[in-house]
Amino acid sequence: MLEGLDPEQREVATALHGPVCVLAGAGTGKTRAITHRIAYGVRAGILQPSSVLAVTFTNRAAGEMRGRLRQLGAAGVQARTFHSAALRQLQYFWPKAVGGTLPRLVDRKVQLVADAAASCGFRLDRGELRDVTAEIEWSKVTQTVPADYAPAAALAGREAPRHPAEIAQVYAAYEDLKRARGVIDFEDVLLLTVAVLQDRQDVAEQVRAQYQHFVVDEYQDVSPLQQRLLELWLGDRDDLCVVGDASQTIYSFTGATPDHLLDFRARHPDATVIKLVRDYRSTPQVVRLANALLAQARGRAADHRLELVSQRRPGPEPVCTEYSDEPAEAEGAARRIRELIDSGVPPSEIAVLFRTNSQSETYEQALADAQIPYQLRGAERFFDRPEVRRAGVALRGAARFGGNDSLLDGAVDLPSQVRAVLSGEGWTPQPPAGSGAVRERWESLAALVNLAQDLAAVRPDATLGDFVAELDERAGAQHAPTVQGVTLASLHSAKGLEWDAVFLVGVAEGMMPITYAKTDEQIEEERRLLYVGVTRARERLYLSWALSRSPGGRPSRRPSRFLNGLRPGSPAAGGRPAAGGPGGVERGRPGSPPAGAAPPRRTRRTPARCRVCGRPLTDGGEMKLMRCEDCPSDMDEGVYERLRAWREIQARRSGQPAFCVFTDKTLMAIAESVPEDERELARIPGVGARKLTRYGTDVLAICAGRDGDGLDERD
């Protein structure tokens, strides 16, 4: 199990106890390291497959992890996204914790947001609708209610697509509309799971009894809400392994933050920290440019960057090209892509990456004119395509009645059987001429043929039924096979992927960094986004920009400031050595943060104890009450009931579930202590600074026997 791992990867694979933090640079084999870690623990009898939960951020990554674990003999391990894992738990526990059936989950919320905006008298164009939807999603993962949106957005430096008061109004209407229609969205899945685990000790204990060991991939991308869910899964245990790279934090606009990764050692002083810096993906030339790009970075993530060391043989130098206008840039990229394909590079190993999706049209046209097949990543999902759906029906029928299907006569193995069935759906051994819809349909079917070949290579005895089961599992996880065409994708959607040749286009001021990136933090995230693009390339890297948008336009553009000192003839830019140090292992000691670490943001506290019997408390609900669930309560029932009535009114006003105001346990804790001033109220777990500011006056008034704001309001 450990053969073929480098020394640092082997350290990851054998570090099976206690908190472990893996700082893994791009291309350093982190997925290989953590899947071998899980499989090694299972094979050694240290980990039970059913007790391990591995979570990541995309269905594709989760599907890849499950596939690798199966090959390594750890098929029973759960590998899911945060949302998928939470949804399974919510579906299972909802009848017990809430009653009835779980409300229907809406797959896409855009239409609901459009209806909510219309109910407020607002007409949103397509771009505004997408942006307002993103603001609602950000609000929910940062646990911001509609009434608090405006100040929270200003504090976070967000560029609101409309007046913040209007977005807050649409957000509130959206929540009302969901309740009226009896549906929930993906963010609700996390919010409701957190609420159930916080308020139902029996449910939390059952989940913790099921899962004993947690692995979190891409930990730099966790949101505050996801971190809270992870903490509830863990309870008082520390059997946790996190993997991430602060230099690849590119989703802060969705609420992601690298702080949880960067503060891991401060929260867990006894953690083992392992750094992976051996880059097996990219040539020394590509790695050198990537390191130089980050050497100019500033900020907290930059302070912890890793200096990659390429393990590959030398390759060609990255190529920087300036064009007169955008069409010329697209045509230049298409010419080079044609040369690469003619030299033997498969189209599926070439990608064109851009900052915004609006840039793709020019490149689609240029590739079509050059008769180069391409696929748009982030467009219609693979398993939703009509030809893929029809192919699935045909394959399922053949798997069931294959013995009576003349198409399968002479088909002796799985690939030949799949080719035979799909020939009836339009697949041919040679692709059709040209591009367009016919070619796209053929590419989809060809991807299924290639997937059958891959499955047969791993499992020579695989049947058509096994292939259909594989397709069903991939469809459920939206883990699409590779389509044989040049990939066109935004830099954000390219995260986690890699190609032999990468074209980074439009690398000009105003696009990279994007115009609306104003603050130092936003500029640095744009730099990290370019870094992610650079590190997608294995061998060949092309960077280009255009001086004007249209032919004959004024050449007013200039190359991105990020290329200063990196492209020939550019002014030098100051750099600094990596603070993250070389690869290796740091073994923590309780109470001893690593040298040079930032001051701890949160230190470990002594165990909370029941104020009645003195027993240590581990459950979140009990810690809020500062007593065991079974110990006698001295709660003021009158105060508790008045707090509950007040909470219902506040929940209706804010458009949020009641638990988002205060949970039942927090209300019980308030009614038991009956605080007399803000200082006493602030000591109660569950009453943070924001809630103290917003609700403190009302709560203290109720505790003092007076009415809180709106307590006498009637529907």
Q: What SS3 string covers 250-297?
A: CCHHHCCCCHHHHCHHHHCCCCEEEEECEECCCCHHHHHHHHHHHHCC
Question: What are the φ/ψ torsions at residue 109 (nearest 5 degrees)?
Answer: -95, 0
**Is residue 28 marked as binding?**
yes
- Starting at the edge strand found earlier in the chain, the sheet holding 584-587 runs 78-81, 52-56, 213-216, 240-244, 20-24, 272-276, 584-587
Q: Which long-range contacts (CB under 8 A, 24 or more apart) does 601-610 make?
A: 601/259, 601/263, 601/266, 601/267, 602/263, 602/266, 602/267, 603/266, 603/267, 604/267, 604/268, 604/269
Residue listed under structure tokens 């009453």? 687
**Is residue 420 marked as binding?**
no
Report the C-alpha gap between 360 and 354 in whole angstroms.
8
Question: What are the φ/ψ torsions at residue 535 (nearest 5 degrees)?
Answer: -80, 5
Helix (H) or strand (E) holding 55, with range, is strand 52-56
Contact between residue 563 and residue 525 where contact means Cβ atoms under 8 Å apart: no
Query: Angle between the 224-234 and 186-199 helix axes, to the nearest 10 degrees?
Result: 40
**Is residue 31 marked as binding?**
yes
Q: Is the dihedral of CA 687, 688, 689, 690 positive or negative?
A: negative
Strand 584-587 versus strand 272-276 pairing type? antiparallel
Report the C-alpha gap between 207 and 390 in whole angstroms.
39
Report the C-alpha gap between 381 and 161 in whole angstroms.
27
Q: Which two tokens stand for residue 397?
A: 């029928």
Q: Which two tokens stand for residue 262?
A: 């960067």
DSSP 8-state class, residue 632: -
Bridge partners (DSSP) of residue 542 are 319, 503
Report the C-alpha gap between 356 and 516 in whole angstroms.
13
**Is residue 153 marked as binding?**
no
Q: Is 309 helix (H, G, I), strand (E, B) or coil?
A: strand
Query: Angle between the 110-119 and 126-141 helix axes, to the nearest 10 degrees?
Result: 100
Report the C-alpha gap between 225 and 231 in whole angstroms.
10
Residue listed under structure tokens 């992927």? 497
| Of 616, 694, 602, nearest in space to 650 by CA | 694
Interior CA angle at 570 toward 282 and 302, to 5°?
Answer: 55
| Of 216, 243, 196, nearest in space to 78 by CA | 216
Contact between residue 8 and residue 278 where contact means Cβ atoms under 8 Å apart: yes
Contact between residue 397 and residue 463 where contact means Cβ atoms under 8 Å apart: no
Q: Which two tokens stand for residue 636?
A: 């003021």
Helix (H) or strand (E) holding 499, with range, is strand 499-504
Report the C-alpha gap between 615 and 627 in whole angstroms.
8
Contact between residue 145 and residue 179 where contact means Cβ atoms under 8 Å apart: no
Q: Which two tokens stand for residue 105?
A: 């989950």
Report the C-alpha gap between 534 and 289 in whole angstroms.
8
Q: Which two tokens stand for residue 269?
A: 């002083």
Dump the DSSP string for 551-599.
TT------B-GGGTTTSTTPPP------SS-SSEEEE-BTTBPPTTPPP
Report the C-alpha gap between 433 and 373 in whole angstroms.
10
Q: Which residues are annotated as a binding site for ATP?
A: 24-31
Q: Which residues are annotated as a binding site?
A: 24-31
